[in-house]
Amino acid sequence: MQISRTLRRELIRAVSWVVLGALGGWAVGAIWAGIAVSLALRLLLHLRYLSGLRAWLDSPKQVVLPIVGGTWGEVFDGLLNLQKRNRKRKKKLAAILAEFQASTEALPDGAVVLGPNGEIVWFNAAAQALLGLRLPQDLGLRVANLVRAPAFTGYFARGDYSEDVEAPSALNPTITLAFRIIPYGNGQRLMIVRDISELKRMETARRDFVANASHELRTPLTVLRGYLDVMEAESRGEGPLQAWHMPLAEMRNQATRMESLIADMLKLARLESDVVHSRQDLLEVPRILGQVLEEAKAMSKGSHRFEADIQPDLRLFGRESELHSICGNLIGNAVQYTPAGGIIRVRWWGDDKGAHLSVADTGIGIAEKDIPRVTERFYRVDVGRSRASGGTGLGLSIVKHALEHHEGKLQVESELGVGSTFTCNFPLHRVSRGAARNEFRSHTH
């Protein structure tokens, strides 16, 4: 409606100019010449306003739009109002940006804003201190050219920012930094950098304490176990310890469970402290699975049916003791949590994504809420059954850490009362179909 009114007024003005030109031409005896002159003057006026508009668009701060009436006046007023609104919006955005920068400056973590090509757009003081960035020299440079740690460059190039990545500081190798990249906006990314050195030191102290305490407990427990073995043997006869036969047997069972717990704690401590890319060999996985299956059948005592689908020529680069722990814990758990008469299926196969080991059972299953926590230390889905069977609660935690040493991932699928399937996925570069044994070093740095 506004446009229609504006056009109507403009048409009325044009007609008025034509009428005036015709009257002027009639006065001198040349009506059409008068009309042409009036239209030419009208056109020149429009060109003048158009030239002023173009000059204003080129330099809105230096050129002032003329104050006129009519359609051009409405256009100029609209542009000036739009300019005022844009100025207010810019001031508001500038205030928000200033507030954001002030808040990030107060953060102890480093914050770096990255452009679409990974170039540094802005960073706070913490990022400057943690990464050694310089202002303004490093603005516009790609962050991958300044942070050269292999772990970070690989993380940045992959584009999968679902998890953090850790890397040593280039300024001080004793400092460990955690990087997290958060995509936002149109190709923009926010990189958060945290100093986790103290956390790493605390984890190392905790791991050392657990390992040392477990090691120190072994000696008194061995002595205690020795005396219990002797006393239990004597309690089986008609001697004075006959009445203590059942308590001594229970004490011996608990001592055995404590020994298993200490052994698992030491194994977990070693897995946490070992270097991922240490020397590894080409493993005969079918042979290892065969050994573990024989051990599981002995544990089952004929109570379960075992089905195996093992690809005979598929091998894996890794460490045999750790792979044996992975297979032993998964298959042992299947035996432990599957009632008599249940089925345990073991499958080892490869495809274009890597190698896969799955252990499926028809056991009691795991509730959906418990699945994310099954790899936590001492977390038990069925506490009473696990303790009664001598479980330590560390088996799946050992599996998780051993898999990390093989750059693998654990996938858990389960349904209460139906059963569970644990699948270990190993990357393709660790898979081999050759029979020769040789050395391998992990692709992870």
Q: Provide the H-helix boundaries in 177-244.
A: 197-235
Q: For residues 225-247, give the mean pLDDT.
A: 77
Q: How far is CA 68 from CA 39, 71, 74, in A?
A: 19, 9, 9
Please measure the distance between the N-terminal and C-terminal CA atoms of the chain and give it in whole angstroms: 68
Give the separation between CA 158 and CA 440, rounded to whole angstroms. 23
- Per the CB < 8 A criterion, the answer to whether 191 and 181 are in contact is yes
The domain ranges of the chain are: 2-94, 107-195, 199-273, 280-440
Closest of 326, 410, 418 to residue 367, by C-alpha: 418
Residues facing 180 on adjacent strands: 192
* pLDDT tens column, 313-336: 899 988 888 899 899 889 988 998
Cα four-point dihedral sign 39, 41, 47, 52: negative
**What pLDDT was estimated at residue 421?**
92
- The yes-or-no verdict on residue 280 having pLDDT over 60 is yes
Q: How far is CA 9 from CA 33, 75, 129, in A?
A: 25, 14, 65
**What pLDDT was estimated at residue 426?**
93
CATH topology of domain 280-440: Heat Shock Protein 90 (3.30.565)
* pLDDT tens column, 177-202: 999 998 887 788 889 999 888 888 88
Q: For residues 38-64, give the mean pLDDT.
A: 76
Q: How far is CA 396 from CA 231, 273, 422, in A?
A: 35, 17, 10
Place 278 in a pLDDT band, splitting at 50, 70 and 90.
Answer: low
Q: For residues 405-427, give the mean pLDDT.
A: 90
* pLDDT tens column, 57-72: 777 777 777 777 667 7
Does residue 136 have a cis peptide bond before it, meaning omega lies within 30 degrees of 0?
yes
- The yes-or-no verdict on residue 439 having pLDDT over 50 is no
Q: For residues 87-114, give the mean pLDDT.
A: 78
Q: Which residues contact 344 (CB under 8 A, 6 or more apart)?
A: 296, 304, 305, 306, 307, 331, 334, 335, 338, 359, 360, 361, 362
Q: How far is CA 58 from CA 55, 68, 271, 444, in A?
A: 5, 20, 68, 55
- The yes-or-no verdict on residue 263 having pLDDT over 80 is no
**What pLDDT was estimated at residue 108?**
77
Q: Is CATH 2.60.40.10 the classification given to domain 107-195?
A: no
Token pair 């009428």 in the structure block, residue: 19
User: What is the rounded average pLDDT for all residues in the chain?
Assistant: 80
**What pLDDT was estimated at residue 105?**
66
177, two tokens: 């930094």
Helix (H) or strand (E) holding 280: strand 280-283
Choose between 179 and 254: higher pLDDT. Answer: 179
Between strands 354-361 and 419-427, the pairing is antiparallel
Choose between 20 and 390: higher pLDDT. Answer: 20
* pLDDT tens column, 341-384: 899 999 999 988 899 999 999 988 888 888 888 887 776 665 44
Residues facing 122 on adjacent strands: 113
Collapsing DSSP to helix, strand or coil, 124 comes out as coil
384 residue type, one letter: G
Give the separation between CA 167 and CA 200, rounded to whole angstroms. 12
Token pair 């004075």 in the structure block, residue: 240
Token pair 């003329």 in the structure block, residue: 66
Give the separation between CA 14 and CA 22, rounded to whole angstroms. 12
- Biggest CA–CA distance in the chain, Å, is 151
**What pLDDT was estimated at residue 103?**
66
Residue 346, Cβ density class (10 Å: 0-12 exposed, 13-18 middle, ≥19 buried): buried
Residue 187, Cβ density class (10 Å: 0-12 exposed, 13-18 middle, ≥19 buried): exposed
- The yes-or-no verdict on residue 444 having pLDDT over 70 is no
Class in CATH terms, 199-273: mainly alpha
Q: How far is CA 4 from CA 11, 13, 81, in A?
A: 10, 14, 21
Give the separation between CA 372 and CA 366, rounded to whole angstroms. 10
Residues facing 183 on adjacent strands: 189
| Span of 233-242, 298-307, 402-411 with lowest mean pLDDT | 233-242
Token pair 């009362």 in the structure block, residue: 417
19, two tokens: 């009428």
| Span of 185-189, 234-238, 298-302, 355-359 with lowest mean pLDDT | 234-238
**What pLDDT was estimated at residue 437?**
45
Sheet containing 431-432: give its strands across: 431-432, 315-318, 280-283, 439-440
